[in-house]
A and B are shown apart, each in its own frame.
Chain A
C-alpha cells in the first residue's frame, strides 16, 4: 500500500476534484491519497466525491486555510 500526495493547492474548483479523480484512477485499492487544496469549496466537494465513489475519507482537516484530505482508495 502506497501513500500518494496530490498537490491541488492554488487550483480553483473543479481543479482539486479533477486532480483527485486522476490520482484515484492510477492508485491501487488500499492506497492512501493525501490531497491538499486551498479552495474552500473543496471541503464539500471531497465529502460528496467520496460518498459518490465509495472511497473512504479518513480525515479532512483545515490547516490555516489549507484543506488536507486523507482518502483510502476502495
Chain B
C-alpha cells in the first residue's frame, strides 16, 4: 500500500505538487484540500477577465477536480478547509463547508500550499460592498457583474503594483473613469524611479489618473449605504467601485499553529528541498520563503512561475532519496504590460543593491528592439546595474513599447549564472532584422556600462539632473546637440543648442569652467560630443543618460 500525501491548497503550487507526486508514486493516495470553490485557476489572469480580454470564466480555471481525478488520479476536495494540523499524530482536521461536518485526514507526507491573501488594513469603510480585492475568481466575477450591469462609472484602485496597475488598465479599457492611488512616490515599487516614471506617463496618456505619495484613509457611503468616495488627507475621490490592491501576505496561520517555523520574511521557512523544520512536512508556493540568489538572503517573492517550480521540487523529494531535486533560489524576475508599454525587471534594482551594501554602477541606455528599418521597430530603455569592483551584473530593468521580455530573460539567465558585464557584451544572441539588431539592447547596454566602469564615459541620470536644476545649481552648462528639427519638439529648459556637427567649431560658446552636460535623443551623439570636447581640453563633460528618450520632465 502506498503512502498518503495530503496537500493543503489547490491553486498553482498545490496542484503542481500533487500532480507530480502522483506521477512519481502511482500507488500513493494523493488528496488536495482546497477551501475555495475553484482549484487550479490562473490568478494572474483575473485582471484580464475583469477587462473582458478573457471572455469567460472557464478560460481562467485551468483544471476541474473531475479532470484531475480522471487524468491524474488525484482526489481534489473543494470547499474543504483545513482547520488544524497535528504533526505528531500526522493528521489534518478538515471542515467540509458543504455539509458542515468535520473530518480527519491522516497523512504520511504533508505539503502546505496555502498561498497568500490580500493585505487589507482596517481602513474605515473598506468593508463596503463595492470595495473589492482581486485574488479569487469570485472577486473578479463580482466586479465583472457590476461592470456588465453598467453600475460603474468611476473607480479607485489602491496600490500601484502589478495587480493594481493591471486592474486599473482593464477598468480604463472598459470605459471606467479610473484613479490609481499609490502610497509611495512612484508606481511599480521594485523598479527604479527612472523607469517607473516613464510607465506612469504612459498610463496617464491613456487616460488613467495616477496619484502617488497619497494614502486612502477611508471610504464613505451615500445614504443608501453604497460607496460614494475614497478619502485621502488631501482629497476626496468620487467613485462607485474601489479595488484594494496594496499587496499580499503569506497565508501561514495554519502552519504556524502546527509548529512550522516561519522565516524572517514571515513566510514559511523551507530549505532548497522545500522541507520545513518538521519531518515529512513541506511548503510550496506563495506561503513559503525563497532565497534571493544574488544576496543569498531569505526573500519572499510570490510569483506563479516560482510556485510551480517549488511544487515540482517538493514532489520529487517526498520519498527522501539521495538524488534530491533542489531550488536554490530566485533572482526575482517580473514583467508587466500596461496599454502599449511593457516593463520588466530581474535581479536587484539599484536602490535594493545599494541597500544591500553594494558599490553600484548603473546605466540607462535606449536601444532598438529590432532593426530600425524593419516595420514595428521600437526604442526600448534598458537599465543595467552592476557591482563596481567585480563587474558582476546585479540587475536589469527594461521598459518600452517594443520587445522587452527577451532582454529581460537574457539578463535573468545571465544573472542566475553569475555573469559579469564583460560576459553580457560578448553574448552571441539571435540576430536578423525582424528579431533584433546586430548589437542587441543587452549588448549595447553592457558596452555603455563598461564605458562608464572604465572611465570613458561620465553619465548623469535624468532624475539627478532635474534635482540639480531644481536646486538652482549654477555650475551646469546643458548643451543639446540634436538637429534643429528635433530641438523644435522640445528641449530641457535653459539648454544651449549646438548641433553635433558644429560642436568643435563653436566650442568657445560653451563655458569650460562649468560641468558640461551633453544631451541628445538617446545618448550616443552626446557621447560623441563629449569625446570631442574632452579632446579640446574641457575638464568636466557629462552625458545625459538615456537622452531625451528617458527625460520625463517638462521641455521648452
A31 interfacial contact with B, CB 8 Å: no
**CB closest chain-A residue, reference B375:** A65
- Give Cα A21–Cα B368 distance, bound, in whole angstroms: 24
**CB closest chain-A residue, reference B402:** A40
| Chain B residues in 8 Å Cβ range of A17 | 485-486, 489
Contact for A64 among B373, B375, B485, B549, CB less than 8 A = B375
Whether B486 pairs with A9 at a CB distance below 8 angstroms is: no
- Give Cα A13–Cα B402 distance, bound, in whole angstroms: 15
| Chain A residues in 8 Å Cβ range of B489 | 17, 45, 48-49, 52
Whether A12 pairs with B375 at a CB distance below 8 angstroms is: no
Contact for A40 among B373, B376, B485, B490, CB less than 8 A = B376
A74 interfacial contact with B, CB 8 Å: no
> Min CB distance, A65 to chain B, in Å?
3
- Give Cα A17–Cα B548 distance, bound, in whole angstroms: 15
- Give Cα A34–Cα B191 distance, bound, in whole angstroms: 39
How many residues of chain B get a CB closer than 8 Å to chain A's CBs?
20
| Chain A residues in 8 Å Cβ range of B485 | 14, 17-18, 21
A10 interfacial contact with B, CB 8 Å: yes
Of A41, A45, A65, A66, the most chain B CB neighbours within 10 A belong to A41
Whether B379 pairs with A41 at a CB distance below 8 angstroms is: yes
B312 interfacial contact with A, CB 8 Å: no
Whether B372 pairs with A38 at a CB distance below 8 angstroms is: yes
Contact for B377 among A40, A53, A64, CB less than 8 A = A40
Whether B372 pairs with A10 at a CB distance below 8 angstroms is: yes
Contact for A65 among B377, B483, B549, CB less than 8 A = B377
- Give Cα A13–Cα B378 distance, bound, in whole angstroms: 10
A39 interfacial contact with B, CB 8 Å: yes
| Chain B residues in 8 Å Cβ range of A48 | 489-490
> Min CB distance, A34 to chain B, in Å?
16
Whether B483 pairs with A40 at a CB distance below 8 angstroms is: no
Whether A38 pairs with B373 at a CB distance below 8 angstroms is: yes
- Give Cα A47–Cα B338 distance, bound, in whole angstroms: 21
| Chain B residues in 8 Å Cβ range of A11 | 372-373
B269 interfacial contact with A, CB 8 Å: no
Of B377, B379, B490, B521, the most chain A CB neighbours within 10 A belong to B377
Whether A65 pairs with B376 at a CB distance below 8 angstroms is: yes
Whether A39 pairs with B372 at a CB distance below 8 angstroms is: yes
Instruction: Give chain B interface residues in 492-515, CB to chain A under 8 Å.
Output: none
| Chain B residues in 8 Å Cβ range of A66 | 375
> Min CB distance, A11 to chain B, in Å?
8
| Chain A residues in 8 Å Cβ range of B378 | 40-41
A49 touching B488 in the complex, CB below 8 Å, given contacts A14-B521, A40-B401: yes
Whether B377 pairs with A52 at a CB distance below 8 angstroms is: no
Instruction: Give chain B interface residues in 372-389, CB to chain A under 8 Å.
Output: 372-379
**CB closest chain-B residue, reference A22:** B485
B228 interfacial contact with A, CB 8 Å: no
- Give Cα A23–Cα B39 distance, bound, in whole angstroms: 61
B482 interfacial contact with A, CB 8 Å: yes
Whether A64 pairs with B482 at a CB distance below 8 angstroms is: no
Whether A14 pairs with B483 at a CB distance below 8 angstroms is: yes
- Give Cα A9–Cα B376 distance, bound, in whole angstroms: 11
Q: Mark B5-44, 1 if CB is under 8 A from A, else 0.
A: 0000000000000000000000000000000000000000
> Min CB distance, A38 to chain B, in Å?
5
| Chain A residues in 8 Å Cβ range of B486 | 13-14, 17
Contact for B379 among A18, A21, A40, A49, CB less than 8 A = A40
A-B contact pairs, 29 of them (CB 8 A): A10-B372, A10-B373, A11-B372, A12-B368, A13-B379, A13-B486, A14-B482, A14-B483, A14-B485, A17-B486, A18-B483, A38-B373, A38-B374, A38-B375, A38-B376, A39-B379, A40-B376, A40-B377, A40-B378, A45-B489, A48-B489, A48-B490, A49-B488, A52-B488, A64-B375, A64-B376, A65-B374, A65-B375, A65-B376
